[in-house]
Amino acid sequence: MILGPGAFLRVGLLLLVAVILQLSVVGQIGVLGSYADLTPLAVAAVAFYGGSIAGSAAGFAAGLLLDLATGATMGASSLVLTAVGYGVGRFREVRDPSHGLMPIAVGAFATAGWVTAYAAVSFMLDVGATVSPLVIRDAAVTVMLGALLALPVFILSRKLLAPALAFDPRELRRRRGAPSEPGPLGLRGLEV
Amino acid sequence: MFDQKTIRRRRAVLGVFVGLSVALLTAYFGESGGGVLHALQRGTQEALAPIETGASRALKPVRDLFGWFGDSIDAKKDNDKLRREVESLRSELAQAQTAKHDNRQLRGLVGLRREASFPRGTDPVGARVIARSPTVWYTSVKIDKGRADGIRIHQPVIAAGGLAGKVTRVTGGTAEVTLITDSQSAVSAQVMPNGANGIVKPEVGNPNDLLLDFVEKGMRVRKGTTVVTSGFSSDRVRSIFPRGIPIGRVTKVDLDEVELYQRVHLKPFADVRRLDFVQVLTRRPPTQQNASTGQVVAP
């Protein structure tokens, strides 16, 4: 990702919209007793297209904004979302997945990581809290909803972030095109 | 793939953000409710409140749409659950109402036998009504006690409140009771307390109205007085009903100048439409039993 005022603005706008939508709309739509969560999806989308540094920065910022807006323990969401953003970014950097449906898997894993790690952090901070087994069911539903919402969120995020990206992984794959015909020696790249 | 500088930068960024998060956590827990971070939270919430409100209002239709789907699913689930609950409660209610109804009838039977005027030594046998006459004439019922239980033909049958009928057919384990509302029924009766005698007959088809016929004109019968079995007995005939079983209460007296007798209407104490428990009086009271030998049975 090209670091510049435009990138900051776009990432900031994306995260702000994600948090506000999460708090005012998505968080109020109950599905099967649980709720979808846009925040980890937005962070995962930034990390997927921008890399681990952008991802961890976006995670920290989104977590901070979320904690400020909700009045939750400050730092908890930032810590978890930083890890989520970094993890997704590193996955992109190391594996460079090319499948068009990869955002679904990434979104599901990001949501699962967010839900699990946030629950663990909350549990560690709130000593003596009792946890109902229903949390597991709700977490599973949230992960499922995250997987469903991942594709549209990633597509919209990519459109918003496109001008700030150093390279668009999808565009790069498109430019690579189909493998060329092998040369007379039967080796690709040695065409005569 | 990445040079050392990039790796170091990446790790440094991660470290900085993790460190900042931990520092925020520590500071947040360390400060009081009026601290900087708490104040920052309150300020952010106040600043974001109008945006959140606006977004919430603007996107309410979207929320409502999804809510509608969710509510429909929940409503279906709730509907199934409530339906099962209603079935269960209906069953419980039916059981409770049946128990209450049975209890009322059994209490009525016990109360009837405790009345001072009720004949003693009748050895009542309790029975449950197992079948009813399917017609609207309220003619007979079948009970679950028979010959093996000491039931015999012509034995009187009482229900909660008063006289219900008499046994007209007996098998080993069941018996048929012809009700006082049957068209063939006739019971010798006496109006209390003035002692006017008459015959109680049914007004066929109306189980709430019996007629006390053949009451002499000279004996004035008043509305609201009680009619009981007279236990009529003579040298040749005797009533199958022992004296003193309540039959009903006088509701109307027809004073026809032309006719020789009064026609007295009475409402039976026993509700023959809702008989569930009855008692068969298997023995005649000792004082009346002696007079029964060699006599012809009469109503």
Q: How far apart are CA B168 and CA A154, in angstroms?
A: 89
Instruction: Round to whole Å and give the CA distance between A82 and A125.
Output: 18
Q: What pLDDT score does B294 carry? A: 38
- Domain span including residue B293: 124-298
Q: Which domains does chain A have, with CATH numbers?
A: 5-165 (1.10.1760.20)
Chain B CA closest to residue A52: B10
Number of cross-chain residue pairs from A and B with Cβ atoms under 8 Å apart: 97
Is B66 within 8 Å of A29 when comparing Cβ atoms?
A: yes
pLDDT greater than 70 at residue B13: yes
Q: Are residues B47 and B160 in the same domain?
A: no
Residue B242 falls within a domain, yes or no? yes
Give me the mean pLDDT over the A49-71 stretch: 89
Q: Which residues pair with residue B290 across a beta bridge?
A: none
Contact assignment for A75 to B56 by CB distance below 8 Å: no
- Same domain for B146 and B283? yes
- The answer to whether B102 contacts chain A (CB < 8 Å) is no
Q: Is there a domain that residue B91 lies in? A: no
Whole-number pLDDT of residue B166: 92
Specify the higher pLDDT residue, A25 or A54. A54
Domain count of the fold of chain B? 2
- What are the phi and psi torsion angles at A170 (to 5°)? -70, -40
H-type alpha helices, chain B: 4-30, 36-58, 60-114, 286-289
Question: What is the least distance, in Å, from the CA of B10 to any CA of chain A?
Answer: 6
Q: Which pLDDT does position B296 carry in this prediction?
A: 46
Q: How far is B34 from chain A (nearest CA, A)?
A: 13
Say if residue B51 is in the same domain as residue B172.
Answer: no
Report yes or no on B276 lying in a domain: yes
pLDDT at B280: 92
Q: Which of B8, B14, B41, B59 to mutate to test the interface with A (most CBs of A within 10 A)?
A: B14
pLDDT at B292: 39
Clarify whether residues B51 and B154 are in a common domain.
Answer: no
The span from the CA of B228 to the CA of B225, in Å, is 10
How confident is residue A34, by pLDDT bands cut at 50, 70 and 90? confident
B47 touches A: beta carbon within 8 Å: no
B265 and B140, same domain (yes or no):
yes
Q: Give the residue-averaged pLDDT of A120-147.
A: 78
pLDDT for B176-193, tens place per residue? 898 888 877 888 888 887
**Looking at the structure, do residues B187 and B52 belong to the same domain, yes or no?**
no
Whether residue B236 lies inside any domain: the answer is yes
∠ Cα B210 B241 B165 (to 5°): 50
Q: Is B163's pLDDT higher than 50?
A: yes
What is the Cα–Cα distance from A12 to B98, expressed in whole angstroms?
Answer: 71
% residues pLDDT > 90 (chain A): 28
Considering the domain boundaries, does residue B115 fall inside one?
Answer: no
| B161 part of a folded domain | yes
Residue B222 lies in a domain: yes
Distance from CA of A181 to the nearest CA of B (A): 27
Residues of A with CB under 8 A from a CB of B: 20-21, 23-25, 28-32, 52-53, 56-57, 59-60, 63-65, 67-69, 71, 73-76, 78-79, 82-83, 86, 93, 125
Report residue A145: phi and psi, to 5°: -65, -35
CA dihedral B279, B281, B285, B290 (to 10 degrees): 180
Is 60 exceeded by the pLDDT of residue A129? no
Among chain B residues, CA nearest to A57: B17
| pLDDT confidence of residue B136 | 60
Q: What gap in Å lies between CA A147 and CA A153, rounded to an integer?
A: 10
Contact criterion met (CB < 8 Å) for A24 and B37: no
CATH code of B176's domain: 2.40.10.340
Q: How confident is the model at residue A108 (pLDDT cuts 50, 70, 90)?
A: very high
Give the residue, A171 or A109, on which the prediction is more confident: A109
Q: Is residue B191 part of a domain?
A: yes
Percent of chain B with pLDDT over 90: 8
**Residue A192 above 60 pLDDT?**
no
Indicate if B289 and B151 belong to the same structural domain: yes
pTM above 0.80, yes or no: no
Q: Does residue A124 surpass a pLDDT of 70? A: yes
CB contact under 8 A, B21 and A79: yes
- State mean pLDDT over B281-291: 65
Would an 8 Å CB–CB cutoff place B32 in contact with chain A?
A: no
DSSP 3-state assignment of B119? coil
- Give residue B293's pLDDT: 38
Question: Is the domain of B142 the same as that of B259?
Answer: yes
Each residue's pLDDT tens digit, B267-282: 998 888 778 889 998 8
Which of B24, B34, B66, B36 is CA-nearest to residue A66? B24
> In terms of domains, do B181 and B34 share one?
no
Q: Are A15 and A65 in contact (CB under 8 A)?
A: yes
Question: Which of B42, B58, B74 finishes a domain?
Answer: B58
Verify that B142 and B260 share a domain, yes or no. Answer: yes
**Pair B277, B186 in one domain:** yes
Chain B residues within an 8 Å CB radius of A50: none
pLDDT digits (tens, 9 = 90+) for B48-105: 888 878 887 887 787 778 777 777 877 888 888 899 998 888 888 888 887 887 788 7
Q: Are residues B54 and B161 in the same domain?
A: no
Q: Which of B24, B45, B51, B56 to mutate to test the interface with A (most CBs of A within 10 A)?
A: B24
Range with the poorest average pLDDT among A41-45, A92-96, B114-118, B290-294: B290-294
Shortest Cα distance from A88 to chain B (angstroms)?
A: 13
In this complex, the residue of B22, B23, B44 whose CB is nearest that of residue A68 is B44
pLDDT of residue A81: 93
Confidence of residue A110 (pLDDT cuts 50, 70, 90): very high
**Whole-number Å distance between alpha carbons of B132 and B177:** 10
- As for the ipTM of the complex, it is 0.78
Q: Taking a C-beta distance cutoff of 8 angstroms, is the pair A145, A192 a contact? A: no
Please state whether B127 falls in left (phi above 0), alpha (psi between -120 and 50) or beta: beta
pLDDT digits 0-9 by tens, B230-263: 887 766 677 888 888 889 999 988 776 656 677 7
Q: What is the pLDDT of residue A57?
A: 92
Share of chain A above pLDDT 70, in %: 80
Residue among B10, B28, B67 minimizing CB distance to A29: B67
| Cβ–Cβ under 8 Å, residues A41 and A107 | yes
